[in-house]
């Protein structure tokens, strides 16, 4: 079994298909660990979830946009951190509504309802946002940090030049999404210390990335603006 991690998809169905095809992903034999945020971006969220649910060995990690989506479709409101619905829709939620209308498909909703905030496998941590490096117990991490943190990659960047061997949390690798590598002027994944960032901007103008977690070989989609030249993502 090969094991892969997937960055933030944000409704970019064409990019998802390209990544699965270009990596020769086997739907029945390989494992895919999705770092969340299939929701909110391009208006093909439903198609993305349908494709992912075809995968036998699928691990889906809850992300911040997924949490917003879950609040709306499970509870009828978006009140995560006290934010009104308009904040969600302005951050890509509008196209999730375009994809589903007012009712999310039950199997898709259940995937989000049952999604963990992190996943541990092969001495690797998979999380959407990041961790507080001062909290050694993963079970005591603040859920908001796991969903929303953008500091971990910056910490790793500042330490990488002098201590590239340093391992945050003691893990062999920490795979994160959420912090797009476009913030660091790159459409490629970034690895600093043991932190591997694979959100390469598929929900904006960038690319979607799938990575073999053992070898760190990766495959990418075309640029989002090329795949959907007439549609805005986030």
- pLDDT tens sequence for the chain (234 residues): 999 999 999 999 999 999 999 999 999 999 999 999 999 999 999 999 999 999 999 999 999 999 999 989 998 777 767 677 888 888 899 999 999 999 999 999 999 999 999 999 999 999 999 999 999 899 999 999 999 999 999 999 999 977 888 999 999 999 999 999 999 999 999 999 999 999 999 999 999 999 999 999 999 999 999 999 998 888
Q: Please tell me the distance from the alpha carbon of residue 101 to that of residue 78, in angstroms, as a whole number.
A: 15
**In total, how many domains does the chain have?**
1
40: which residues sit within 8 A by CB, 6+ positions away? 10, 11, 65, 68, 69, 88, 91, 92, 93, 95, 96, 203, 234
CA atoms within 13 A on the CB side of 97: 16
Domain-embedded: residue 232:
no
Domain-embedded: residue 230:
no
Find the CATH number of the domain harbouring 163: 3.60.21.10
* Whether pTM exceeds 0.75: yes
Domain-embedded: residue 103:
yes
Domain-embedded: residue 229:
no
Domain-embedded: residue 214:
yes
Domain-embedded: residue 36:
yes
Domain-embedded: residue 126:
yes
Q: Are strands 31-34 and 57-60 parallel, antiparallel or unpaired?
A: parallel
- Give me the domain span that covers residue 52: 3-223
């Amino acid at each position: 079994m090969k094991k892969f991690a997937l960055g933030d998809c944000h409704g970019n169905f064409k990019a998802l298909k390209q990544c699965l095809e270009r990596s020769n992903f086997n739907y029945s034999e390989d494992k895919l660990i999705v770092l969340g945020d299939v929701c909110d971006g391009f208006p093909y969220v439903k198609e993305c979830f349908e494709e992912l649910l075809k995968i036998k060995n699928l691990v889906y990690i809850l992300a911040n946009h997924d949490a917003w989506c879950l609040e709306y479709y499970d509870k009828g409101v978006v009140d995560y951190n006290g934010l009104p619905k308009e904040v969600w829709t302005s951050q890509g939620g509008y196209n999730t509504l375009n994809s589903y209308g007012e009712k999310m498909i039950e199997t898709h909703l259940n995937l989000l309802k049952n999604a963990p905030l992190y996943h541990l496998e092969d001495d690797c941590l998979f999380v959407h946002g990041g961790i507080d490096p001062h909290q050694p117990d993963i079970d005591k991490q603040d859920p908001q940090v796991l969903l929303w943190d953008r500091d971990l990659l910056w910490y790793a960047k500042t330490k990488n030049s002098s201590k590239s061997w340093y391992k945050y949390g003691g893990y062999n690798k920490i795979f994160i999404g959420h912090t797009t590598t476009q913030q660091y002027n790159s459409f490629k994944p970034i690895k600093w210390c043991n932190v591997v960032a694979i959100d390469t901007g598929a929900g904006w103008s960038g690319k979607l990335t799938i990575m073999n977690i053992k070898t760190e070989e990766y495959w990418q989609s075309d640029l989002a603006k090329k795949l959907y030249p007439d549609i805005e993502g986030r």
